[in-house]
Chains A and B, each alone.
Chain A
Amino acid sequence: MADGYNKPIPIPQPESDHYWEGAKAGELRLRHCDDCNQAFFYPRNICPECGNNNTSWIVASGKAKVHTFAIVHRPPHPGFMDDIPYVPAIVELEEGPKMATQLVNVTPEPEAIQIDMPVKVVFESITDEISLPKFEPA
């Protein structure tokens, strides 16, 4: 674990082991329903659209656009005390699904970030097992 990392750390679950292994390997892996022929987030074995188990994994391009964001000035958790102001966001992936993330390598000011701005995934290693997919301007 990175020294002093005191933010919440994801604990992979049976349906998400492969997602987190991918992130550690530098891949953003998505679940894909082979019946609906569309990707979805977050990873589930059962397609939330049709309910079938005919799902596979794909590797996302890592390209996305900003759907929305905020600029947090009062940390909601002590682990983020040194990070404020930081920029949580929802991005829309090229493959269709939306995911929650953080924007990095941006100036945390309203004028510096545009809705629909193109971004790309970067992986921040926080423990030996976990890397968090975050997004930066493309």
Chain B
Amino acid sequence: MPVMDRLKKISGTAAIVGVAESDEIGRTPDKGPLELHAEAGRNALADAGIDKSEVDGVFTAGYSTYDVAEYMGIKPHFTDSTSVGGSSFVIHIAHALAAIQAGYCEVALITHGQTGRSDRARAGGNPGLPSAQYETPYGIIGPPVSYSMACRRYMHQYGEDKTREAMANIAISTRKWANKNPRAFFYDTPMTFDEYHDSRWISWPFHLPDCCLVTDAGAAIVITSTERARSTKKGAVRILGAAEGHDHSLLHQMPDLTMPFGRNTGPQALEMAGITHSDLDLAMIYDSFTYTVLVTLESLGFCKPGEGADFVADQRTAPGGDFPLNTSGGGLSYTHPGMYGIFTVVEAVRQLRGETGERQIDDCKLAMAHGTGGLLASTGTVILGRD
């Protein structure tokens, strides 16, 4: 088990100093995934005011770090291709904190790039993986099918109508935030409750607006020691807590379809940061599906199991509500290229710096960013604080 005394000692010793998206996000048919990595990496370094030659730690998922580093012309001394789905990039933050603290590197660059929208060719499955024998032959392929099965179980335990109301509330509130973010895919497209309920089924119980977008996009994060961070262009957003883990890979192996691994990473990250839920000004929670948000809020301990519907009721998570959630518009309405986790961190940092214009929340000092990867399988939670 993680050793909390030691984690508390490194809390806040490294900081995020640069965040960026690729030049364009949404639909970029003229750009390949590695180009999006490189663009975002360059932009994040510019945001930090740090030269590429100073990067000595590289982190990525989906591709190997040697592909990304070669493409960008970086020769790192610390390399980490931990790839556990969309949470990977949040998990990389914990690894960067540990590597910087231990002395393996000084400037860590985490990159992401995917062309989920333009590149519709699906990679063939590896026949050696259990999923190829025990799930895909049944049409249990891709996240919507699996997550909708998990959601049906939740409905059985806590009530179908209540669950549906929560899913609608999350879809609508997230869209309202996207309507305030010029870079959001659905910036110009509002959505009403009627439109939500009347939309087509993808995999019952999921309507189309219960499912995230499929876009092209890249993003990157630059991390260095807090000491050095304080002299960078935009200053330090300190990494106060960071936790990671997983408890299955195939959905049917998940111990409880209504309780993902955030049950461990949420409390661990908060304890490491020395804060509680009520101290947070912002939560950025990976929204691959509306259900993901509902079940993640419960697992992280914002409310008790089965109480998520009450927690998000009455548009409490929308602009003007008292629990700002996924203020970029999230994977549901802003962007989701496949592994979205890094974008939760990009938005959290921008909110902490006060850079988010019309959607800026008041006096944002502490934020949580939480990634979920695979089939509700891996989670990474970070607590970030304005210096």
Question: Which of chain A's residues have a CB closer than 8 A to the CB of B200?
Answer: 73
Task: Name the contact of A68 in the complex, choosing from B127, B133, B152, B206 (C-beta under 8 A).
Answer: B152
- In B195-210, the 8 Å CB interface with A consists of 200-206
CB distance from A17 to the nearest CB of B (A): 11
- Known contacts A7-B139, A90-B252; is-contact A73 B202 (Cβ 8 Å): yes
Is B133 in contact with A88, judged by CB distance below 8 angstroms? no
Q: Please, which residues of chain A bring their CB within 8 A of the CB of B125?
A: 8
Picked from B130, B137, B145, B148, the residue with its CB within 8 Å of the CB of A132 is: B137
Chain B residue with the shortest CB-CB distance to A9: B137
Pairwise interchain contact A8-B136, C-beta atoms closer than 8 A: yes
Q: In the complex, how many angstroms separate the beta carbon of B146 from the nearest chain A beta carbon?
A: 8
Contacts of B202 in A (CB 8 A): 73-74
Bound CA–CA A8/B141 (angstroms): 10
CB-defined contacts of A45 to chain B, threshold 8 Å: none
Convert B179-220 into 0s and 1s, putting 1 for each residue whose CB lies closer than 8 angstroms to a CB of A: 000000000000000000000111111100000000000000
Asked if B74 is at the interface of the complex by the 8 Å CB criterion, the answer is no
Residues of A within 8 A of B (CB-CB), count: 40
Q: Is the CB of A73 within 8 A of B149?
A: no
Instruction: Assess the A70–B205 pair: CB atoms within 8 A.
Output: yes
Please report which residues of chain A, range 7-43, place their CB below 8 angstroms from some CB of chain B when the two chains form the complex: 7-13, 16, 20, 41-42
Q: Could you tell me which residues of chain B, from 228 to 279, have a CB within 8 Å of some CB in chain A?
A: 250-253, 257
Q: List which A84-138 residues lie within 8 A (CB) of chain B.
A: 85-86, 88-90, 98-102, 110, 115, 126, 132, 134
B203 touches A83 (CB 8 A): no
With contact pairs A13-B128, A68-B152, A115-B152 given, residues A73 and B204 touching in the complex (Cβ less than 8 Å): yes
Q: In the complex, are the beta carbons of B133 and A42 less than 8 A apart?
A: yes
Contact residues in B for A102 (Cβ distance below 8 Å):
138-139
Q: How many A-B residue pairs have CB under 8 A?
A: 113
Judge whether B153 and A74 touch: CB under 8 Å: no
- Shortest A5–chain B CB gap in Å is 11
Question: Does residue B99 face the partner (Cβ distance < 8 Å to A)?
Answer: no
- The listed residue (B132, B151, B153) touching A115 by CB distance below 8 A is B153
Q: Specify which chain A residues have a CB less than 8 angstroms from the CB of B138 in the assembled complex.
A: 88, 100-102, 132, 134
Of all chain A residues, the one with the shortest Cβ separation from B252 is A100
Q: B133 near A16 (CB under 8 angstroms)? A: yes
Given A68-B257, A73-B204, is A89 in contact with B149 using a C-beta cutoff of 8 Å? yes
Residue B6 is within 8 A (CB to CB) of chain A in the complex: no
A13 and B127 CA atoms in complex are apart in Å by: 8
Q: Indicate the member of A41, A70, A132 with the most B CB atoms within 10 Å.
A: A70
Contact of A70 among B130, B132, B149 (CB under 8 A): B149
With contact pairs A8-B141, A76-B142 given, residues A70 and B134 touching in the complex (Cβ less than 8 Å): no
Given pairs A74-B144, A85-B204, 17 additional interface contacts (CB within 8 A): A10-B134, A67-B257, A68-B150, A70-B145, A70-B149, A70-B204, A71-B203, A76-B141, A76-B142, A77-B122, A77-B136, A88-B140, A88-B149, A89-B149, A100-B138, A101-B138, A115-B153
Question: Can you report 24 A-B residue pairs in the complex whose CB atoms are below 8 A from each other?
Answer: A8-B136, A9-B137, A10-B134, A42-B134, A67-B153, A68-B257, A70-B145, A70-B149, A70-B151, A71-B204, A72-B145, A72-B204, A73-B202, A74-B202, A80-B139, A88-B140, A88-B145, A89-B149, A90-B251, A98-B252, A99-B134, A100-B140, A100-B251, A126-B137
